[in-house]
Amino acid sequence: MAQSRHAVEKEQSTKITALVVDDNRINRTIHCRLLNNLGVENEVVGNGKEAVDAHCSGKKFDLILMDMEMPIMNGIEATRKLREMGNRSMIAGVSSRSMEEDIQEFIEAGLDDYQEKPLTMSKLISLIRKIKLNG
């Protein structure tokens, strides 16, 4: 079976990369620390537009942790835009919303997963396991 270049690179390197997208600096600090502890290389941005700009600049991430409510460009719009531009990262929505109708639009924008805040080590490990399984 032909493998994508990205899948081959993933096999050769176990280093996973992630982008934290959140307008709250406490969340960015905590999520960054969680990722560092798991050996995941990561960057942080403060809103959806910065996430889209990162993609446009050619940066690739295995995992994007996308907050829902952010100024300038929220997580729903950013996820939609990233998918329209062909972004194939695992995008995990992270929000404090728990009502189904609130998160439905977010999921339909193109999420691969959704985790309710606060993000914990075990939630992150389950996301990383998914990435490794999907190669």
Distance from C-alpha of 6 to C-alpha of 102, rounded to nearest angstrom: 33
Q: Considering the rule CB under 8 A, would residue 30 count as an interface residue with another protein?
A: yes
Q: Considering the rule CB under 8 A, would residue 126 count as an interface residue with another protein?
A: no
Alpha-helical regions (H) of the chain:
5-12, 25-37, 48-56, 75-84, 100-108, 121-134
Q: Considering the rule CB under 8 A, would residue 74 count as an interface residue with another protein?
A: no
Q: Considering the rule CB under 8 A, would residue 117 count as an interface residue with another protein?
A: yes
| Least Cβ distance, residue 24 to another protein (angstroms) | 5
Q: Considering the rule CB under 8 A, would residue 72 count as an interface residue with another protein?
A: no
Residues 95-123: b if buried by 16+ CB within 10 A, e if exposed: beeeeeeebeebeebbbbbbbebebeeeb
Q: Binding another protein by CB under 8 A: which of 15, 33, 59, 132?
A: 33
Q: Considering the rule CB under 8 A, would residue 96 count as an interface residue with another protein?
A: yes
Distance from C-alpha of 109 to C-alpha of 81, rounded to nearest angstrom: 9
Q: Considering the rule CB under 8 A, would residue 121 count as an interface residue with another protein?
A: yes
Residues that bind another protein (CB under 8 A): 24-27, 29-30, 33-34, 37, 69, 96, 117-118, 120-121
